[in-house]
Structure 1
Amino acid sequence: MSIQGSQAAALRWDLSGFGDEIDDDPRVQAAVMRALGASHIEVRSAWGTNIVDLSEEQLAQLKGVLDEAGLNVSAIASPIGKVDVELPVEHEVERLGRALRAAEVLGAPYIRIFSFYYEGKAPEQVREAVIERMAALARRAEGTGVTLVHENEKDIFGDIPSRVADIVTSVGSPALKLAWDPANFVQVGVKPFTEGYELLRPHVVYLQVKDALFADGSVVPAGEGDGEVLRTVEALRDSGYTGFASLEPHLAEAFSLGGFSGPYAFGVAARAFAKVLEAAGVEAG
């Protein structure tokens, strides 16, 4: 076996997933994630309530449910930055405070964020305002022990690789890194690995797992679309990536603040990604 093959065989990634794509009830979320062999869960909402709107009592209850199931939290999947860029800087900084509190209670090392809607304007018109807001969010997170990860997504400033790179390099904070979402790149006409990996890899610390088709933007299980998932996994493997792989299937429904799959489709997504990992010689659990 080659040295590269030996390294690949030794790599193990922590499997996680967006629990609310399974069910509103965190007990059901936890049960399915454990059944799939996952060690972690990503929290976007519980009992139908977004993570930034959960009360202290609900956060404590959620912590108890996950502890009982033996699950750790990989990330807080916040909606921070999914608002119009014209809102005051303080609007999202205040909401980030609530996400940071959730991360503290649940022991999450990462918080997912976005880089603002700007309907009716050109990207260059809002760039300065976006960077100002992203820098303010990063400053708020600095010193907390939590890293913000920007998710590339359609309709926000950071949708294509060049603008994603612009954000993270312009802010230049150790508290702001990147989450990689191949399906979202496909939905804005980008070949993820071919056109974005080399540019963004130095800043990528978190992998979100979903795939999509160029033909109509529809989301499909990992490895069954145009998201170059296997090529990306192999490249991450070769670079020594040992972080999280978080399932976000969106196989039944997608909407502005998230998506839904249900237990069965979530299992389909997990098994599809397991095939990708097997082909790349990477373990996950």
Structure 2
Amino acid sequence: MFDYQESKTYLEPELNGQDAKPEVTIRQVRVEQPDETDAHELDVDERTFQIRLANTEMVRSHASSLIHRMYASRGYTVNNPLQENPHRVTMTISEEDKVIGTITLGIDSPSGLLADEIFKDEVDAYRARGRRVCELTKLAFDPTTRSKTALASLFHIIFIYLRRVQKCTDIFIEVNPRHRRFYERMLGFKKHGPKKMNPRVNAPAYLLCVETDYVEEQIQKMGGTSGHDNAEKSLYPYFFCPISEKQNKAAIDRQLAVLHTDQGNANAVNALAAIYQASRGATSVESLTLSH
């Protein structure tokens, strides 16, 4: 179930310090202090943050706590903590050793997706066409953080994993009706089927879907353009710049090669995320020179 709003996000304690660190140096940037009148809403767009795989019980516990806090604050029922599962991948994003967000990717398998519980007919229609489906669930973000950059970065890294490693063609999400427009407008999701009651959170939900081909097209068109005056009203300008991706192609391909043989390799996932994050803000569409 997705319940993200533009105006609110959600916070959690520090990540497990024993996670393997990627061999990539993250760019350090100057921290802008917020105005006193807005000090409770920290803007992390120009700060350093890290995206990492939640591959230990401790990190999954932190992410579960964050999810529970977010959902409980909205009156939703949350019963099951995150558990190790070969068909689910959870990623976290942290700022100054504090977890500020988490998201879980579910890959289709013989046991199906969580969305099958109430939207099986809709999902089966895609399977019947030979599509490789997946779902994004359990999005939680820091309530004191307003950062489209952080949110887009988390979406972008998990998108790279689901498209390039898992070869998924379609992404499903279940969202509360009041947040449906956000995902349609900001990410291009489309509604599939009627509104139904989601028993996992005891709240109504719509099933939304977007093709990974469409997401890739938007990234190629708008990624890295958020600082432009003509940037579109979308989350895609806050995704990583496709030109910097080309510049770092050799390093990216090395990590993807590892993941193609070992899909749960935390070092490769973390290094891949760090490569992208290191390029954030260091390059721009205008100034980049493609390497040959």
Q: Is the pair's TM-score, using the shorter chain for normalization, greater than 0.5? A: no
Q: Which has the higher contact order (CA 8 A, sep 6+)?
A: 2
Interval of TM-score (by shorter of Structure 1 and Structure 2): 0.3 to 0.5
More helix by share: 1
Instruction: Give the alignment's TM-score, normalised by structure 2.
Output: 0.34
